[in-house]
Amino acid sequence: MDTTTDHSLRQFMFAARAPSLRKAAETLAISQPALSKQMRRLEEQLGFALFRRHGRGIALTASGVELLARLEPAFDQIDSALAAATSLDRSTNYLSIATVNTLAAYLLPDLVIALRQSGSSARLTLLAASSQEVVESVVRGKADMGFVYDIAIDSEQVERILLLDELLVGYRRAGSDLPCEIAVTELATHSLILPPHPYVLRRIVERECGCPLHPTIESNSVELTLDLVAANCGMGILPAQLRSTIVESRGLERVRIVGGNFERKVAVIRRRQCGNRLVEQAIGIAQHLAEVGVRSTS
């Protein structure tokens, strides 16, 4: 089996488990047409249909059901073997943390600094990934803990601990023509820099605007978005909690968005009955940072 087929089979498992291809594409952070094309290629390669289409969406064929039943235990064994092999080289003083890109921009640096200031000499591995990949990394044992948005947690194998409500705001270049406060109904009239459709941030903004948006630039990178805003390419929409060092150093200002609900819940996740001392310490620090952050912005 080549790596392309392996990747397609994993995508098939997501599609087979999800209520629709649209939902599967969102969790995989790819477009629905791209996922549909990948599934058609896999069907051509295998020589039989995996899905049957109907008016309400898609359903697995008998062959698709049989393939899924064979793949799930096989991939579970592969993932367990990889996790076990990785753990062979881990000491009790090792911590692996997975996080989504936006939280890596403000929550993770403060956590690592606080860990070091506490006297911990733990070896750290920090992984940035999509929301679904963060959850999967924790479930499969590739990460000891993860930071993710509560809406993306769909596994009963992990325990979630809510940390804070993250507020989305606009970012403008200081002195630009953009207002310092903007109504949600006026967002569509401005040049926006937003992530692509599968990302939760994009869905929240379009939900509150009540219509699809056509951003001037699509970017899923926090740093790149801020650089583009600094170059006066438009207004970015990102968490209000971004560190001042990466905002003010670029000559940027926050723009308050009024008339909509632009909050989303941030959670830390770990495997149930984890029992890892470093995970417990890191979660305690994260909870303290969240509390201090809420107090400082209230």
Tokens of 284: 């305690």
pLDDT tier for residue 132 given thresholds of 50, 70 and 90: confident
Query: Residue 200 CB: number of other CB atoms within 10 A?
Result: 19
Q: CA end-to-end span of the chain, whole Å?
A: 54
pTM of the model: 0.69
Number of domains in the chain: 2
Per-residue model confidence (pLDDT) at position 287: 94
Q: Are residues 154 and 52 in the same domain?
A: no
Q: Are residues 188 and 276 in the same domain?
A: yes
Q: Are residues 139 and 281 in the same domain?
A: yes
- The answer to whether the beta carbons of residues 165 and 263 sit under 8 Å apart is yes
Q: Are residues 134 and 228 in the same domain?
A: yes
- State percent of the chain over pLDDT 90: 52
Q: Are residues 249 and 110 in the same domain?
A: yes
Last residue of a domain, one of 33, 61, 87: 87
Q: Are residues 165 and 273 in the same domain?
A: yes
Q: Are residues 44 and 113 in the same domain?
A: no
Average pLDDT over residues 152-162: 86
Q: What is the 3-state secondary structure (H, E, C) of 20-36?
A: CHHHHHHHHCCCHHHHH
Q: Are residues 44 and 77 in the same domain?
A: yes
Report whether pLDDT(298) > 60.
Answer: no
Last residue of a domain, one of 30, 58, 87: 87
- The answer to whether the beta carbons of residues 99 and 108 sit under 8 Å apart is yes
Q: Are residues 71 and 97 in the same domain?
A: no
- The answer to whether the beta carbons of residues 34 and 89 sit under 8 Å apart is no
> Tens digits of per-residue pLDDT, 19-38?
788 888 877 778 888 898 99
- The answer to whether the beta carbons of residues 265 and 204 sit under 8 Å apart is no
Closest-CA residue to 114 (of 295, 284, 291) = 284
- The answer to whether the beta carbons of residues 237 and 203 sit under 8 Å apart is no
Average pLDDT over residues 154-163: 88
Report whether pLDDT(294) > 60.
Answer: no
Query: In terms of pLDDT, which residue wins out, 288 or 157?
Result: 288
Map tokens 């599934």 to a residue: 39
Instruction: Determine the structural domain holding residue 58 and report its residue range.
Output: 3-87
The span from the CA of 239 to the CA of 242, in Å, is: 6
Q: Are residues 82 and 107 in the same domain?
A: no
- β-strand 123-128 against 94-99: which pairing, if any? parallel
Map tokens 């023509």 to a residue: 177
Per-residue model confidence (pLDDT) at position 86: 55
Closest-CA residue to 103 (of 164, 22, 21) = 164
Give the CATH number, domain containing residue 109.
Answer: 3.40.190.290
Tokens of 72: 């799930």
Q: Are residues 104 and 74 in the same domain?
A: no
Query: In terms of pLDDT, which residue wins out, 228 or 90?
Result: 228
> Tens digits of per-residue pLDDT, 184-205?
999 999 999 999 887 888 989 9
Last residue of a domain, one of 66, 87, 108: 87
pLDDT tier for residue 88 given thresholds of 50, 70 and 90: very low
Give the CATH number, domain containing residue 46.
Answer: 1.10.10.10
Per-residue model confidence (pLDDT) at position 297: 43
Report whether pLDDT(134) > 60.
Answer: yes
